[in-house]
Amino acid sequence: MSQLKAQLNPHFLFNNLNVLDQLIYEDKERASEFLNEFADIYRYVLQADNLKLVPVTEELRFAEQYYNLIEHKYGKSYQLKIDRRDREGYIIPLTLQLLIENAVKHNLGTSADPVRINISIGEDIIVSNNRKPKRIENSISGKALNNLKEQYQLLTKQVVEIEETELVFLVRVPKIHNAQ
Amino acid sequence: MIRIAIIEDELPAIQKLKRFIAELEEPTEVVGEMGSIAEAIEFLQSTTVDLLISDIQLHDGTAFDIYQQVSLGCPIIFTTAYDQYWMNAFETNGIDYLLKPFSKDRFLKAWNKFLLLRKSEKLKDVQLTNLYKLIEENLSEKKFKKRFAVQNGQRIYLLEVNTVVLLEAKDGLVLAHDKDGKKHILNYPTLREAEAQLDPADFYRLNRSELICKNYIEKVERFSKNILAVKLKGYPEYYKTSQATTASFREWLDQ
């Protein structure tokens, strides 16, 4: 879990404090909203350290809050749609956060041509996005995703599947039905 | 007008920088806002700016990728949330490093550093210009006087320098003797000041009161052990060197 926690690193913290600084100036209410969301996110990550699995609904709420931070920063360049057909079951915490973060990290959205991230909760949990690869790829790409795969292998003996075409990047995460 | 470009991918962070910039006393213009490495490279290849304010970690890489592809002539103020990159920052044109979130005061500190640098660059420019001027003056042929304007009562006439055989300081006046034996009173307080206007290849200061022209030397004779006597065309007298000037007079004759 410490690998996943590292996703919310000092870089993340201080960047968001800087965003908050500007929001305080621009719009008190938005700033307050942003601050509370940010606090929730941090608390979730800290608590996630002590738990192995969380209900899908909780992780979904967290994913939405995390996405709100992204929206504050990048505007409409990245969009999120969530399809909740079957919200039962459990998930390894921060799974959705990591996949959203990855989509933002590896794809370059603009408000005219956004990156659309879809989360679909059914039998499996599917996170997909249209691909708009950045010209200069981060050298450590794939590291976080590999960690996630290992985590699932270890905890559930199930496989995280990745489907990649020229246009779409899709990750299929198995849903866990029993929290034990 | 100070032209500034911002490289930053987070909208509120851009707004914050623009707000701080707008509050500066100096006239500024934000000429570009780039949110990615690719955009920044494209912009900087075609546009010159006075100052770059650049985030380090962007969507599509770190800002150092930009500076590997574009050679920049302007200083950079880096902004970043985390200080793992500060060493790299100073290997580029980085002049300061703002850690997010940064206050207005901290921003101003970086800005003043930029202004100081800009001032000293300008000073360097001025010094360089002066140096060029000095070199130019020394390399180019110095302009010497071709004629003197001589005042005679209410009248002014021109005396061609190439007709002058001898300049003489006498009774507080500077007199020019021409090839026809006529005297002219020149408008110089001292012989030294008249000498400064004449080509030293043509005129030589024999002693304190006499300046002679090489073109009118008829002959040079030995007067005593260390003194030479010069006979000028059209003038019966001999003009003598002093002990101090004899050696250099010989050199001048040969030139």
* R_g over Cα of chain A: 16
- Interchain CB distance below 8 Å, A19 and B9: no
Q: Give CATH for domain B147-254.
A: 2.40.50.1020
Q: What is the pLDDT of residues A63-107, one digit of tens each?
A: 999 999 889 888 899 999 999 888 889 999 889 998 998 898 888
- Chain B residues within an 8 Å CB radius of A108: 36, 38, 59-60
Q: Is the ipTM of this complex over 0.85?
A: no
Q: How near does any CA of chain A get to the CA of B88, in Å? A: 17
- Spell out the domain ranges in chain A: 2-174
The amino acid at A62:
F
Mean pLDDT of chain A: 86
- Chain B residues within an 8 Å CB radius of A134: 36-38, 59-61
Q: What is the pLDDT of residues A18-37, one digit of tens each?
A: 999 999 999 999 899 999 99
Query: Do you find a cis peptide bond into B27, omega within 30 degrees of 0?
Result: no
Dist CA A20 CA A142 (whole Å): 30
User: In B197-237, which ranges are E strands?
Assistant: 203-207, 210-213, 217-224, 227-232
Element (H, E) at B93: none
Judging by DSSP bridges, how do beta strands B183-186 and B173-178 pair with one another?
A: antiparallel
- Spell out the domain ranges in chain B: 2-121, 147-254
Got the DSSP string for A106-134?
HB---SSSPEEEEEEESSEEEEEEE--B-
- Interchain CB distance below 8 Å, A135 and B100: no
- Chain B residues within an 8 Å CB radius of A21: 16, 101
The predicted model scores a pTM of: 0.61
Domain at B2-121, CATH homologous superfamily: Response regulator (3.40.50.2300)
Looking at 1.10.10, 3.30.300, 3.30.70, 3.30.565, the CATH number of the domain A2-174 comes to: 3.30.565
- Interchain CB distance below 8 Å, B60 and A72: no
Orientation of helix A28-48 relative to helix A10-26, angle to 10°? 160
pLDDT under 50: residue ranges of chain B:
none
Percent of residues, chain A, with pLDDT higher than 90? 42
- Among B9, B60, B103, pick the best mutation site for testing chain A contact (most A Cβ within 10 A): B60
Residue recorded with tokens 């005396």: B159
**Could you tell me if A131 lies within 8 Å of chain B, comparing CB atoms?**
no
How sure is the predictor about A47, in pLDDT bands with cuts at 50, 70 and 90? confident
- Interchain CB distance below 8 Å, B13 and A11: no
